[in-house]
Structure 1
C-alpha cells in the first residue's frame, strides 16, 4: 500500500536512503552520503513523501514541487513494481515530473526511461563532480466519464 509519509517512518526511510545511495552510487565516496545524512534527515519532512508500506516501509519517493528529490526502494523489494508504483503516485499529483540521475547510474536511467521520462540535459553535479542527467516526464491526465477516458 502506498501512503503518505508519517514522522514515525523517518528512521526506516533514512536507512533505505543511505543503503540505496551506497549501492547505486559506488562511484561516489560513501563518506559523502554519511556526511550528508543529518542534513537529508532534516530536509526529508520538507518534501512531500509517499512510502510503500508492506508490513513496514519498503520504499519511498520524495517530491519537492514537481521535482523527484529521491526515489529509493529496499534492496529486497527492487524489481517488483515498488518504484513504478511510487512514480505512478507522483504522476497522479503532477502534470510534469523532473529528476536528476547520475550518468553512471544506468539502472536508474533505464528505470526512468521505462516510466516515460526523457533525457532533457546533462550537467555536472556541483557537490560530487559527477555528470548527471536531467530527466522529465510530461504526464497526461485522462478524465474518466462513465467508461470512457478523455
Structure 2
C-alpha cells in the first residue's frame, strides 16, 4: 500500500465504490441472500453513496476501501476483499475519528468479525434492533472521543 492516500470521493469513483460494497457485502454477510445485495446496487449508486460524505483509500486508480458518513453516523465502511486484513479499515476509521467527536453505526450481529473490529476500535454496543429489510438483528454501536 505504498503511496496510498485517503481522499474525498467524487462522482467518478462511484462505480468502483459500488463494486467494493457489493463484493465485500456478500462476503461479510453470507447470512443474507445474494439477491438482496443485487437488488440494492442501483440504490447504492444513485441514492445512498451520493447522499454521504465519503473518504476512500486509493493507490493510483485502484480504490481499496471506503468509509461513508451521514453526519455522525458511519453509514458504511467497506474494504475490497482482496485488500482485507491490511489495516485499511483502521486507517479509514481513524481518519474520520479525527473529524468527529462522536460516531455511531449499525452492524449486523451475525457479522462477528466486524462487531469485534468495532469493539477493538472503541465502539460500544448501546442497543439491538431488527433491520426491516433483512429481518436480521443489528447492533447500534457508539464511539466518543476521549
Match of residue 65, structure 2, among 59, 84, 95:
59
Q: Which residue of 1 aligns with 2:53?
A: 48
SS of match in other structure, 2:42 = helix
Q: Displacement of 1:27 after TM fit?
A: 0.6
Runs (4 or more) in structure 1 with deviation over 2 Å come to none
Gaps of 5+ in 1: 141-150
Q: Which residue of 2 aligns with 1:116?
A: 122
Gaps of 5+ in 2: none
Q: Displacement of 1:89 after TM fit?
A: 1.1
- Return the TM-score normalized by structure 1: 0.91
Does residue 1:14 correspond to 2:18, yes or no?
yes
Q: Which residue of 1 aligns with 2:42?
A: 38
Q: Displacement of 1:78 after TM fit?
A: 1.0
- Return the TM-score normalized by structure 2: 0.93
Match of residue 96, structure 1, among 97, 102, 109:
102
Q: How many residues align?
A: 140
Please provide the CA RMSD for this pair: 0.8
Q: Displacement of 1:90 after TM fit?
A: 1.0
